[in-house]
Amino acid sequence: MDKKIPIAISACLLGQEVRFDGGHKNDAYINGTLSEYFSFLPLCPEVGIGLSIPRPPIRLVQHAQGIRLVGVKDPSIDVTEAMQAYSARVVEELTEVRGVILKKGSPSCGMERVKLYAPDGRSIDKTSGLFAAALRERHPLLPIEEEGRLGDPGLRENFITRVFVYHAWRELNRQGLSAGRLIDFHSDHKYLIMAHNQAAYRSMGKMLANAGKEDIAALALEYEQALMHALAKPAKRQQHVNVLQHLLGYLRQQLDSEDKAEMLEIIEQYRQGIVPLIVPITLLKHHFRRHPHDYIDRQVYLSPHPHELMLRNLL
């Protein structure tokens, strides 16, 4: 790629020694594989509010007045307002990033399932870190994920797909939107959307039916919301099968009965979990190379991210 996609990230995941104990949580997959495609903007909210390295650990405590970010051993250390002020300022500046990777479990960075304590020290619930909560509130459509969840192949593929789509969408907006460009973008992403959410696929088509007659800025906002919500969950196996069958339909006239039977057999093997998604996709691409089809050749579904990431190679 000539230009890497900008991603904000918890600094400790890049190996920066910013944790409370002076250590880091270097993540080899992020620092190695993903760094080929993403440029990282490291952030450490706790260092950002002026805490030292090392520092006394802090945690989230539920008080009658709300959740406080306080010292584990010394509850008189209270950095709630400082963290809220830092978060409000920094999330406002994150308009150019196309995704965020956060450190799980942190009372500042953790996206979800961060321990919430009672004042007496009992663990009573799970919540979000204060910085992560502010980030999600300000940028609800921005792809955000935790490094722990990136270990799950489905969540990893979904996050990276969303980053690439969001990046393409923001670039389109930067270049200038028109009704025609919006419709082109939607056409390119149709089967990707269908794989994630059939209902959204149908409603987004209707949304764009009068694209030339509506206010383009308002329509773009509505479209962006629908797009990112549609992609929010990983596509299920049966949804991929459905899309693969649709795509195969475009080759009805071109393939002989043997090729068709082979293609159907491979799709069935994928449905049964015998082969990974990359297998039917590769065979389909092979057929479309021999029988080019303008509408299918442009489908992002066939290559939503670089094949070197091998995100569709696992069962």
**Backbone phi, psi, residue 244, to 5°:** -60, -40
Choose between 46 and 145: whose C-beta lies nearer to ligand SF4.
Answer: 46
The burial class, CB within 10 Å (0-12 / 13-18 / 19+), for 122 is: exposed
Q: Which amino acid is at 22?
A: G
Nearer to ligand SF4, 12 or 266 (CB): 12
Integer Cα distance of 300 and 250 in angstroms: 16
Q: How far apart are CA 119 and CA 49, in angstroms?
A: 23
* Pick 67 or 192: Cβ nearer ligand SF4: 67
Task: State the burial class of residue 46 (Cβ atoms within 10 Å of its Cβ: 0-12, 13-18, 19+).
Answer: buried
Instruction: Tell me if 109 contacts ligand SF4 by CB under 6 A.
Output: yes
Q: Which of 80, 87, 108, 128 binds ligand SF4 (CB under 6 A)?
A: 108
Does residue 312 touch ligand SF4 according to CB under 6 A?
Answer: no
Contact between 19 and ligand SF4 by CB under 6 A: the answer reads: yes
146 binds ligand SF4 (CB under 6 A): no
Q: How far is the CB of 74 from ligand SF4 (least distance, A)?
A: 18
Compare residues 45 and 143 and give the one whose CB is closer to ligand SF4: 45
- 44 touches ligand SF4 (CB under 6 A): yes
Torsion of CA 213, 215, 216, 219, to 10 degrees: -100
Contact 192, 154 (CB under 8 A): no
Shortest spacing between CB 80 and ligand SF4, in angstroms: 14
CB 110 within 8 A of CB 145: no
What distance in Å separates the CA atoms of residue 114 and residue 137, rounded to the nearest whole number?
17
Complex with ligand SF4: residue 19 or 240, whichever CB lies closer: 19
87 binds ligand SF4 per the rule CB under 6 A = no
Considering only 11, 130, 243, 283, the residue that binds ligand SF4 (CB under 6 A) is 11
Cα 192 from Cα 279, distance rounded (Å)? 17
Among 45, 99, 280, 304, binds ligand SF4 (CB under 6 A): 45
Closer of 55 and 190 to ligand SF4 (Cβ): 55
Q: Does 161 bind ligand SF4 (CB under 6 A)?
A: no
Which residues of this chain interact with ligand SF4, rule CB under 6 A? 10-12, 18-19, 44-46, 103, 106, 108-109
